[in-house]
Amino acid sequence: MKTDNREQKPIEPWIAERLHEWAAIFDTCATCPAFNTARGYRLPGQPMVVDVLNGIVGLIFPGCLGSEATRAYVGHSEGAPDAGRVAQNLYDCVLPVAKYYCEQKICKHCGDCEAFARRAVEGLFAAGSGIRDMLQDDVQAAYEGDPAARSQIEVVMSYPGLYAVATHRIAHQLVKLGVPLIPRVMSECAHSRTGIDIHPGATIGRGFFIDHGTGVVIGETCRIGSGVKLYQGVTLGALSFDRDEHGNLVKGVKRHPDVEDNVVIYAGATILGGNTVIGHDSVIGGNVWLIHSVPPHSKVYNAQPSPVVKTRP
């Protein structure tokens, strides 16, 4: 490991004279609800949550995603996390988050935070084989749906859509178990890594394939069936946001569309609204704007543009 042998430059005198004033900036942070360690919350930082996510993904796809040498059974190889260590790290993330939400009086599991964190870890690992089975269907859908895919291992190791979907399936299971905060951090990790934004609350069926992927947005209350394929730039979003009598956004209502089984949505399509349903076996063309439902077996596309071609004399 390289060390920096350069001499550290002393602080300028005028900076040293002002430090007592600038320290007040940090003193006032104690009143900030997001100020973590100084208020005793000790919430897991984003890198810790990302490390847990990669550990779980590594257990599902050993040697392909996450740690190269991760082994998906109790026990360990040299330098490789085992299932027990990943579970412990997840517990260490969930417990302080549960305590924080209890202290803020916004938790939904009041009682015993330690027991809640334990149930969350046990619930995720109990669902692990089911998550792996669904992801295997996702891999198969990508392999069969993309003529450029030469093997399933190529899909697993190189397709950003598969990583985003794997992250979603883990985060969504944590949402179902009632875990706050951590699923959203996981989904935003995948978002920043792949350009694919899937809210962990969205429900997605088996055999889901996002081709290319960059710019895809899937909202919190979306329900997506099995065998659905999306291309880059697709938005499944909200048409509008309801507000209460005080002007505050109403949360927890259906805002995003439903997509039934075996639908293909091409690049750049925008589908909005909580009452919008795309019927099964439909095809939505590129750059289509939809704010109403379409029946099964529909083909929706924009009128063919008429390009103007000019040649030089």
Inform me whether the pLDDT recorded for 167 exceeds 70: yes
- pLDDT digit string, tens, across residues 17-49: 887 777 666 665 555 555 555 456 688 889 999
Q: Is 115 exposed, middle or buried (0-12, 13-18, 19+ CB in 10 A)?
A: exposed
* Cβ atoms 187, 223 nearer than 8 A: no
Distance CA 58, CA 135 (A): 13
Distance CA 206, CA 228 (A): 8
* Cβ atoms 209, 161 nearer than 8 A: yes
Question: Which stretches of 195-259 are assigned E, i.e. beta strand?
Answer: 197-198, 203-204, 209-210, 217-218, 223-224, 229-230, 235-237, 258-259
Inform me whether the pLDDT recorded for 108 exceeds 70: no
Fold category of 36-196 in CATH: serine acetyltransferase, domain 1 (1.10.3130)
Locate 232 and state its tokens: 């880059």
* Cβ atoms 155, 139 nearer than 8 A: yes
Using pLDDT thresholds of 50, 70 and 90, give the confidence band for residue 177.
very high
For 111, what's the count of Cα atoms within 13 Å in the CB-facing half-sphere?
A: 6
- pLDDT digit string, tens, across residues 292-305: 999 999 999 999 88
- Helical ranges in the chain per DSSP H: 13-28, 46-60, 83-103, 113-126, 128-145, 152-158, 160-176, 182-194
Length of the chain: 313
Residue 204: helix, strand or coil by DSSP? strand
Q: What is the pLDDT of residue 80?
A: 44
Domain made up of 215-243+253-313: CATH architecture: 3 Solenoid (2.160)
Same fold for the pair 36-196 and 215-243+253-313: no
Distance CA 216, CA 232 (A): 6
Count of Cβ atoms closer than 10 Å to residue 81 Cβ = 22
Residues near 27 by Cβ (< 8 Å), separated by ≥ 6? Answer: none
Using pLDDT thresholds of 50, 70 and 90, give the confidence band for residue 2.
very low
Q: Specify the higher pLDDT residue, 242 or 253.
A: 253
Inform me whether the pLDDT recorded for 272 exceeds 60: yes
Give the residue among 212, 169, 180, 185 at the shortest CA–CA distance from 61.
169
Q: What is the pLDDT of residue 95?
A: 93
Inform me whether the pLDDT recorded for 247 exceeds 90: no
Locate 14 and state its tokens: 């005028």
Segment holding 206, helix H or strand E? none
Q: What is the pLDDT of residue 28?
A: 55
Q: What percent of the chain has pLDDT over 90?
A: 65
Distance CA 49, CA 185 (A): 7
Count of Cβ atoms closer than 10 Å to residue 294 Cβ = 19
Give the residue among 308, 311, 284 at the shortest CA–CA distance from 298.
284
Domain boundaries, the chain: 36-196, 215-243+253-313
Q: What is the pLDDT of residue 34?
A: 53
- pLDDT digit string, tens, across residues 45-99: 899 999 999 999 988 988 777 555 444 444 444 444 578 889 999 999 999 999 8
Distance CA 189, CA 164 (A): 9
Q: What percent of the chain has pLDDT over 70?
A: 86
Using pLDDT thresholds of 50, 70 and 90, give the confidence band for residue 102.
confident
